[in-house]
Amino acid sequence: MSGRSDVAAPEAAAQTPQPSAPPAFVPVPWPRAVGYFVTAATLVLAQGFGQAVITSNIQQLQGSFGATQAETSWMVAAYMAPNVSLTIALIKIRAQYGLRNFAELSILAFLLAALLNYLADGLWSNLAVRFVSGMAAAPLTSLGFLYMLEPLPPAKKLTVGLSAVLTFIFLASPLTRLVSPHLLEMGQWHGLTAFEASIAAIGFGLIYLFPLKSPPRVKVIESADVISFLLIAVGFGALAVSFTLGSTYWWFEQPWLGVLLAIAAGTLPLAAAIELNRKSPLLDIRWLFSPTILHFAATLLFFRLMLSEQTSGAAGLFSALGYLNDQTQMVWVVVAVTTVVAGVVCAVTLRPQRVQQFHVIALCLLIVASYMDSQSTAQIAPSQMYLSQAMISLASAFFLLPAMMTGMLSALSRGPQYILNFIVVFISTQKIGAVLGSALFGTFVKSRQKLHMSRLYEALPATDPLVTGQISTYGAAYSGYIADPAQLAAQSAATLARQASTQASVMAYNDAFLGIAALSTAALALLLGHIALDAWRARRAAAHEPASAEAGPANSSSPQAA
């Protein structure tokens, strides 16, 4: 019997299906590889331009739409509402319809949405077009990742590939601010949309010239996927709209903001409950809520909030001081150049064992840069922020690129099919983090501005000789073209009030910058404590190994002695 069982065991093992090995890498000729890289850059920059174009030009576009700043902000909300969630649809659509077909249809939809801008006239029709554009642009970043990784050998995917694609993601916002003034001169809003349509047309041609390899198609979409996705889309869309507009309309003054947050609080847990009880879920909730992925997502979200120092902080401060994009262009040139430098450094030097060192450097850079910006005055010029903004650009790359590598390694350990799931997690945290960071930063600045404004008014009574002297100075400046004494006094007082408002804004931004420096310092302390704890555990484990090795021979020799 034992002999038969011994023979049967190998036979049973031989009959057990083994997971198929990944296909061997086939080198791609370098001209074709360059084509894939250009396609990746085009797709990522196209999506980034569409996401940043309204925020970067909101003051200039109010005239084009004949709307207030609050009404123009709805353009951002309309774009982000579908954009933050539709990336999730890529997971199963790719498997069922093929990645190549999905890529071709996605870029075609994006091109058609860009062309729809020429038919829109007025704010409300443009809102509808931006909603469609947000839907069409949602898959582009994921496709950009896949195009960048496609021609690279496995050894380069986690270093060169990730560094390159994230560098282009970081470049989208500063490049949008660089090209916007020239496009606005050409045709205001339609100058911007013409550029968006041009990028879409280029991407359309590139995707057909350089198709992605598609794995065998599998029918995986179920009716429950539609229900889950609709719940996720409604929840994420409600969050995106409320975060985008909350600080503008103010959280406690508009009941519909609370309704949106309540909708998100109801739909997202319901979607998670449905997914947990499915055999083939749209999202692997258990994997997403595993300690490794939760830590990864929380880390990305936290640092994305800290990076609002640049996207919302520096840009907002320039706007409060009256600077337009054409007056701050050199700041964004510096940001773009340092982003490229940081990407190259990461591509050359980044390794899995160096992740913590990169994170320490990133947090140190963020602390110093935020503290430098917290010393701003109402007379600060954009040139005085070159160094701090360059440091924040370096910090962005030095933190997010290593974190991305760590997450990708975790996904690869589960199997190649989890790579796309991981990319979706990364993109979703970045998009949600961007709107959440902007909301928190804007809310904090607005509340601190009101506080500083009230304190300044208390410190500037109308009977104060300094106040009356300053009003007299303004009156002397305006007396040449205002003859009415009452109008002259009112204009002088209004000028002083504007100066006080500007000063209150600068003080509020300084408080926000200092808060980011403090939070980054706390994060650095926690990280250093974690590194020290890991080192102590490693030394303790190393100390126990010799003792175990000595005890082993002693125990084995004792029976012989007996």
The full set of domain ranges for the chain reads 28-221, 223-279, 283-536
Q: Identify the pLDDT of residue 336.
A: 92
Contacts by 535-540, CB closer than 8 A, 24 or more apart: none
What is the model's pLDDT at position 477?
A: 67
Nearest alpha-carbon partner for 159 in 340, 332, 311, 352? 352
Q: In the prediction, which pLDDT does 367 show?
A: 93
Give the number of residues written for the chain.
562
Please give the pLDDT value at position 551: 56
Provide the pLDDT for residue 514.
Answer: 93
pLDDT confidence of residue 492: 73
C-alpha distances out from residue 264 to 231, 259, 289, Å: 9, 9, 18
Whether the predicted pLDDT of 231 surpasses 50: yes
Q: What is the pLDDT of residue 17?
A: 38
Separation in Å, CA 493 to CA 452, 454, 468: 18, 16, 9
pLDDT tens for 243-297 read: 888 888 888 888 999 999 999 999 999 998 998 888 888 777 887 788 877 877 7
Give phi and psi for 220, each to the nearest 5: -125, -15
pLDDT at 15 over 60: no
User: What sign does the CA torsion over 526, 531, 532, 534 have?
Assistant: positive
- Average pLDDT value for residue range 313-333: 86
Q: b/e string for 303-325 if b means 16 or more Cβ within 10 A?
A: bbbbbbbbbbbbbbbbebbebeb
Number of helices (H), then strands (E), belonging to the chain: the values are: 22, 0
Position 512 scores a pLDDT of: 92
Give the CA distances from residue 484 to residues 471, 480, 497, in Å, rounded to whole numbers and listed in that order: 15, 11, 20
Q: Would you say residue 458 has pLDDT above 50?
A: yes
Q: Does domain 28-221 have CATH number 3.40.350.10?
A: no
Question: pLDDT averaged over the chain?
Answer: 82
- What pLDDT digit, counting tens, does each position of 392-405 carry? 999 988 988 888 88
Topology alike, domains 28-221 and 283-536: yes
**Rounded to whole angstroms, how far apart are CA atoms 444 and 364?**
23
Q: Could you read off the pLDDT of 429-457 as tens digits, one per residue? A: 778 888 888 888 888 988 998 898 888 87
CATH topology (fold) of 283-536: Growth Hormone; Chain: A; (1.20.1250)
Quick check: 11 pLDDT over 60?
no
Give the SS3 label for residue 503.
helix
Whole-model pTM? Answer: 0.82
Q: Please state, for a pLDDT cut of 70, what percent of the chain lies above it.
A: 88
Name the percent of the chain lying above pLDDT 90: 19
Residue 6 confidence class, pLDDT cut points 50, 70, 90: very low
Region 184-189: what's the mean pLDDT? 83
The amino acid occupying position 435 is: V
pLDDT of residue 10: 41
Q: Which residue has the tokens 């207030």?
A: 68
Strand (E) or helix (H) holding 513: helix 485-561
Q: Work out the angle at residue 526's Cα, subtended by the Cα atoms of residues 525 and 527, and round it to the nearest 5 degrees.
A: 90
